[in-house]
Structure formats: C-alpha cells, structure tokens
C-alpha cells in the first residue's frame, strides 16, 4: 500500500451522538411546557379572579352606602316646615334610587318624593326580649 492509494478518511459517515436530553420526543417537551405554564398561570388566574370579586364587592358596598344616604334624605318630612330647601337633594336621591334599583319609580311617585309630599318610611326591626 502506497500513500497514493489511500483514501482520506470520510467525515460524513455518521452524525455525532446526541445527548440524552435532545432525544426527548415532542410530547415530552410539550408536557414540560404545560407544567411550567400551569405553575405560572394558576396563581395569575387566581389573583385576577380575586381582584374581580373584590372590586365587585367594593362597588356593591359603595352603592349600598349611597342608597342608605338617599333613603335618609327621602325619610325627612318636608311638609312640616313648608320649605323646599332640600329639593335638589331629594331629586338626587330619587335619581340614585332609580339608577340602582332594578324597578324604576313611576313619574308620579318621583314627583311626590321630590316635592316632599311623599316620604319613604323604613320600618325598624323589633327585637325580641
């Protein structure tokens, strides 16, 4: 054998061996990604849901407080002193009740409440002794 008859070694014969991590199939990779997304996503979803619930409760509490104020205004008897000084407040209270109630007051009742001819009476709960 002479040096002229020898062929140079071929570098294309076999691909280099791949590490074990690179041999994972597609399903294994998707499974790993889904676990990561679930681990990060669940707290985010729970936090967003909690924020929405807390925001709704806060809004309902504020609405309840405004209704309490409006009812307090409409409970005062305007016909005793004859003055119409609270007409603007009574108009606001009626508008607030109409905006928060699922059933609106009819126009006649609205006018009577605004003018003070009609007052809202809230019965007090009696305690058993």
Average of per-residue pLDDT values in the chain: 82
- Block residue for tokens 């009626």: 94
| pLDDT at residue 13, rounded to an integer | 61
Whether the per-residue pLDDT at 128 is higher than 70: the answer is no
Question: What mean pLDDT do residues 58-68 have?
Answer: 94
Cβ neighbors of 63 (< 8 A, separation 6 or more) are: 100
Q: How confident is the model at residue 20 (pLDDT cuts 50, 70, 90)?
A: low
Whether the per-residue pLDDT at 49 is higher than 80: the answer is yes
Percent of the chain whose predicted confidence (pLDDT) is above 70 = 71
Q: How many CB atoms lie within 10 A of CB 105?
A: 15
Say how far apart CA 72 and CA 78 lie, in whole Å: 12
pLDDT tens-digit profile of 69-95? 999 989 887 666 555 678 899 999 999
| pLDDT at residue 15, rounded to an integer | 61
Using a 10 angstrom Cβ sphere, with 0-12 exposed, 13-18 middle and 19 or more buried, the burial of residue 67 is: middle
Q: How confident is the model at residue 17 (pLDDT cuts 50, 70, 90)?
A: low
């Amino acid at each position: 054998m002479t040096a002229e008859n020898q062929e140079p070694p071929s570098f294309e014969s076999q691909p280099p061996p791949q590490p074990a991590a690179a041999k994972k199939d597609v399903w294994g990779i998707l499974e790993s990604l889904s676990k990561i997304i679930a681990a990060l996503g669940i707290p985010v979803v729970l936090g967003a849901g909690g924020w929405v619930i807390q925001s709704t409760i806060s809004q309902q509490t504020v609405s309840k407080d405004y209704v309490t104020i409006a009812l307090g205004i409409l409970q005062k008897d305007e016909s005793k002193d004859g003055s119409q000084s609270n007409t603007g407040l009574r108009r606001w209270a009626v508008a607030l009740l109409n905006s928060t109630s699922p059933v609106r007051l009819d126009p006649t009742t609205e006018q009577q409440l605004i003018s003070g001819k009609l007052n809202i009476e809230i019965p007090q709960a009696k305690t058993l002794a």
